[in-house]
Amino acid sequence: MSEWLEVNDLKTYYPVKKGLFGRTSETIKAVDGVSFAVRKGETFGLVGESGCGKSTTGRSILRLAEPTGGTVLFEGQDIMKLGKEELRRQRRHMQMVFQDPLSSLNPRHTVGKLLEEPLIVHGLGNSSERKRSVREMLEIVGLPAGFASRYPHQFSGGQRQRIGIARALIVRPKLIVADEPVSALDVSIQSQVINLMQDLQRDFGLTYLFISHDLGVVRHISDRVGVMYLGRLVEVADKQDLFSRPLHPYTQALLSAIPNANPDAKRERIVLGGDLPSAAQAPSGCAFHTRCPYAMELCSKVMPRMVERERGHVVACHLDQTGNEAIRC
Ligand code: SF4
Ligand code: MG
């Protein structure tokens, strides 16, 4: 598998007005120097607490949010350098699925029309071919073709998500960025939608960037996982390595909070002190130092770099595995 989507030092900052009458402003560093690579055909899970910048990372890769810096190479092409028209063409290959994909669409349009729209935008097929594609696509996502004449409000959450997936898939993309695609669904429906996504990945050769705050879901679907904290990646590893041997204290704390599927593996719950700091006032050095049980003097002064500790297992922390101060950068 080649590294096929490469994100290098991605930054997405937003100015926000504050103070009386918005006279002063501050900068939210929603994504602050994120680098990782996604391999063709895999599912890369991006996890972290809400507000850690994982959605903005996904949106920035597709330039639905405009990055402030960094590069995104997709099949060797720098997405950041594309003009408006080239970007529009490129979007055919890079689609997004949202938590409730139909909520932002016109509720007075039938599902058929909503599914046909992307085909029109990308100039795919004539009218009868498009109608046929819509019916086929509904069946592919497990819905009757006749649903094309219905309206979004007539569907359950799970059905709406199937339609959202169909709308992304109908232009035959290569990459799907799925942002919390099952978070609003009941657990039993979640697993149906995830199974569907896995079947579609196999049948259509899709690559997923799967964004979720839910570690259980990420563990189920991902091949590799990246953990984000306050706009930065703190750990990336194969799923097995991350869940069996998390190296970053933040990952360790996140994992300790999920009910353990294996009762033999004794893992004490690590309770983090303090609240998640604001991305406008990220702590200096390692941004996690205000909550980290192992924080040392160095941590508030020097930002740890991402270092490969084991094959394919990258972590940004000054500690080594024995708990000693490891890396001065
Ligand atoms: Fe904790 Fe320091 Fe490692 Fe940050 S660098 S996670 S504060 S030990
Ligand atoms: Mg989000």
Q: Which residue has the tokens 């899970």?
A: 45
Cα 232 to averaged position of ligand 1 atoms, centre (Å): 13
- Which pLDDT does position 272 carry in this prediction? 84
Distances (CA, A) of 221 to 20, 103, 160, 199: 46, 25, 20, 11
| SS3 assignment, position 328 | coil
- Tell me the pLDDT band of 275, cut-offs 50, 70 and 90: confident
pLDDT in tens, 45-71: 999 998 899 999 999 999 999 999 999
DSSP code of residue 158: H
- Which pLDDT does position 326 carry in this prediction? 59
Whether 234 lines ligand 1, by a CB cut-off of 6 Å, is no
Cβ-based burial of 197 (10 A; exposed 0-12, middle 13-18, buried ≥19): buried
Mean of pLDDT values over 230-236: 97
DSSP code of residue 297: G
Percentage of the chain modeled with pLDDT above 70:
94
The ipTM (two decimal places) reads: 0.97
pLDDT at 328 over 50: no
What are the residue ranges of helices labelled H in the chain?
54-61, 84-90, 111-121, 127-140, 157-169, 187-204, 215-221, 239-244, 249-256
Cα 59 to averaged position of ligand 2 atoms, centre (Å): 10
Hey, what CATH topology would domain 3-102+155-315 get?
Rossmann fold (3.40.50)
pLDDT in tens, 242-253: 999 999 999 999
Confirm if 34 and 54 have CB atoms less than 8 A apart: no
Here the tokens at position 216 are 């259980």
Cα 243 to averaged position of ligand 2 atoms, centre (Å): 22
Note the pTM of the prediction, 2 decimals.
0.93
Q: Tell me the angle at which helices 127-140 and 111-121 cross, rounded to the nearest 10 degrees.
A: 120
Of ligand 1's listed atoms, the one at least distance from the Cα of 287 is 4
- Which pLDDT does position 241 carry in this prediction? 97
Angstrom distance (rounded) from CA 161 to CA 153: 12
Residue 326, phi-psi category: left (phi > 0), alpha (psi -120 to 50), beta (remainder): alpha
Give the ligand whose atoms come closest to the C-alpha of residue 299. 1
Higher-pLDDT residue of 318 and 26 is: 318
- Which pLDDT does position 20 carry in this prediction? 72
The secondary structure of 119-156 as a DSSP string is HHHTT-S-HHHHHHHHHHHHHHTT--GGGGGS-GGGS-
Q: Which residue has the tokens 């109908």?
A: 170
Ligand 1: which of 229, 288, 315 to mutate, most ligand atoms within 8 Å of CB?
Answer: 288
Q: Which residue has the tokens 């990459």?
A: 175
Ligand 1: which of 234, 250, 289 to mutate, most ligand atoms within 8 Å of CB?
Answer: 289
pLDDT at 282 over 80: yes
- Tell me the pLDDT band of 150, cut-offs 50, 70 and 90: very high
Residue type, 94: M
Here the tokens at position 44 are 């890369």
